[in-house]
Amino acid sequence: MDDKRIDALCEQFRALLTEQAARAEKLNSDTAPQENREKTVIGIVSGDGIGPIIIREAKRLLERLLKEEIAAGRIELREIDGLTIENRLAKGKSIPEDVLAAIRECTVLLKGPTETPKGGTMESANVSLRRELDLYANVRPVRIEKEGIDWIFFRENTEGEYTLGSRGIELPGLLAMDFKVITDAGTRRIAKAAFDYAKENGKKSVSIVTKANIMKKTDGKFSEICHEVAKDYPGIEAEDWYIDIMTANLVNPAIRSRFEVFVLPNLYGDIITDEAAQLQGGVGTAGSANLGARYAMFEAIHGTAPRMIEEGLGEYANPSSIFNACEMLLRHIGETAKADRLRAAMEACTVSEKAVAVTGDKTGATTREFADYVLSKL
Ligand code: IPM
Ligand code: MG
């Protein structure tokens, strides 16, 4: 074996380890307070693929719901351009600096899906935004009312397989290694978010989902720290589950409705929330909140749907997931009554009445037609 190549990779690893240790130390001392602002600025980022189509309708929805607040200057909807794959590639940056600066000026963000080039070194814009704004909690609710399913996933959003996902090491022709990073402080804060939610919402259990039998160091730590946090929440049971059997449990109608709150490392959370969303009616139906101490970003859980665009079906994209993200956004900024109105309208349009349905192709309604239907029910 070529020692020089190994030495060079060890140096790379040393740099990663030093950087991550510094990050973990900083997490321990971070107390970013929520700023108090007179005006709430909702930044709106369209993204790529079906992004501009579903965001166009989401903006119309927010304009309708927040009409008085906008007129009175208490809330502003601010479009932020430039987070497109074309501009990102041209600038060679996953988030161009001026775009990030504009985003930081906002109170919260509503974001359409953004394209991530496969391979290469360009990081996903989502991953960069989550890190830059320290949005550590990815909160994804899934409800199937007729089955009594009311799940909420607390996916750790800045660590795990994602922290160094674009910075693995490689001996070409021989092997490649990626790294998974779990920190004590990073785990503690997502665990606290999950247990706080359970406590505030009268939930009886939190399922800690890992593969600690195999990923012993990282998932072992994740589980251990969740149990430590659980001690501060008497009456809420902390259950350990492995990701493989939990994936099976979610498609087992005999037991799935008993689960309530889930807390899990980043990649497992990514995968299992797509499964859960599919059970609810498809990834086009689930909204997602990315929360940090200071910033919050709301989005659909799905991607840009390049195949729909290629087939000319973009205008048939389902806006439900971004509408559900709008509901979470409204709740987050304290507009509870408007969030409830939107929830009731969505319930009528997708469960009880269902007079207009999107199918994702020409057999169903267009994005605009479905949006009109929801607006008519507000
Ligand atoms: C999600 C998405 C993202 C992720 C992609 C677009 C980077 O799948 O929000 O679940 O992997 O987190
Ligand atoms: Mg995903």
**Shortest-distance Cα residue to atom 9 of ligand 1:** 301
Q: Which residues of the chain have pLDDT under 70?
A: 30-36
3-state helix, strand, coil in the chain (%, to 5): 45, 15, 35
Nearest to 148 by CA among 265, 5, 260, 41: 260
What's the 70 CA to ligand 1 centre distance in angstroms? 31
What's the 36 CA to ligand 2 centre distance in angstroms? 32
What's the 231 CA to ligand 1 centre distance in angstroms? 31
| The predicted structure's pLDDT at residue 3 | 87
What's the 155 CA to ligand 1 centre distance in angstroms? 11
Ligand 1, atom nearest to 124 Cα? 7
pLDDT tens string 296-322: 999 999 999 999 999 999 999 999 999
**Shortest-distance Cα residue to atom 3 of ligand 1:** 126
Ligand 1, atom nearest to 138 Cα? 9
The whole-model pTM stands at 0.93
Query: How long is the chain?
Result: 378
Nearest to 158 by CA among 137, 179, 185, 177: 137
Pocket test for ligand 1, best of 94, 124, 140, 268 (most atoms within 8 A of CB): 124
Strand partners, 44: 79, 110
**Shortest-distance Cα residue to atom 12 of ligand 1:** 270
- Do residues 222 and 187 make contact, with C-beta atoms less than 8 angstroms apart? yes
Which tokens belong to 148? 């009594």
Ligand 1, atom nearest to 270 Cα? 10
Chain centroid to CA 373: 26
| The predicted structure's pLDDT at residue 35 | 63
| The predicted structure's pLDDT at residue 273 | 96
What's the 302 CA to ligand 1 centre distance in angstroms? 7
- Do residues 84 and 48 make contact, with C-beta atoms less than 8 angstroms apart? yes
| The predicted structure's pLDDT at residue 122 | 85
Give the largest Cα separation in the chain, rounded: 70
Ligand 1, atom nearest to 273 Cα? 10
| The predicted structure's pLDDT at residue 320 | 96
The CA-to-CA distance between both ends of the chain, in Å, stands at 67
Count of alpha carbons within 13 angstroms of residue 61, beta-carbon side: 36
Which tokens belong to 181? 């990073």
- Do residues 270 and 288 make contact, with C-beta atoms less than 8 angstroms apart? no
Relative to the alpha carbon of 290, which ligand is closest?
1
Residue 362 CA to residue 96 CA, distance in Å, equals 36
How, if at all, do strands 108-111 and 261-264 pair?
unpaired
Nearest to 222 by CA among 233, 234, 206, 235: 206
Where residue 171 falls (left for φ over 0; alpha for ψ -120 to 50; beta otherwise) is beta
What's the 279 CA to ligand 1 centre distance in angstroms? 18
Per-residue HEC secondary structure of 91-110 comes to HCCCCCHHHHHHHHCCCEEE
Relative to the alpha carbon of 116, which ligand is closest?
1
| The predicted structure's pLDDT at residue 355 | 95
Relative to the alpha carbon of 138, which ligand is closest?
1
**Shortest-distance Cα residue to atom 10 of ligand 1:** 270
How, if at all, do strands 175-177 and 169-171 pair?
antiparallel
Pocket test for ligand 1, best of 111, 126, 142 (most atoms within 8 A of CB): 126
Relative to the alpha carbon of 271, which ligand is closest?
2
Residue 97 CA to residue 20 CA, distance in Å, equals 23
pLDDT tens string 32-70: 655 667 899 999 999 999 999 999 999 999 999 999 999
Class of 35-135+292-378 per CATH? alpha beta
The alpha-carbon radius of gyration of the chain (Å, integer) is 21
**Shortest-distance Cα residue to atom 11 of ligand 1:** 270
Residue 103 CA to residue 125 CA, distance in Å, equals 13
The pocket around ligand 1, CB under 6 angstroms, is made up of 116, 124, 126-127, 270, 301, 303
| The predicted structure's pLDDT at residue 37 | 72
| The predicted structure's pLDDT at residue 153 | 98
Strand partners, 181: 160
Ligand 1, atom nearest to 303 Cα? 6
Q: Coil, strand or helix: which one is 60?
A: helix
What's the 126 CA to ligand 1 centre distance in angstroms? 7
Count of alpha carbons within 13 angstroms of residue 35, beta-carbon side: 13
| The predicted structure's pLDDT at residue 121 | 76
Residue 303 CA to residue 124 CA, distance in Å, equals 11
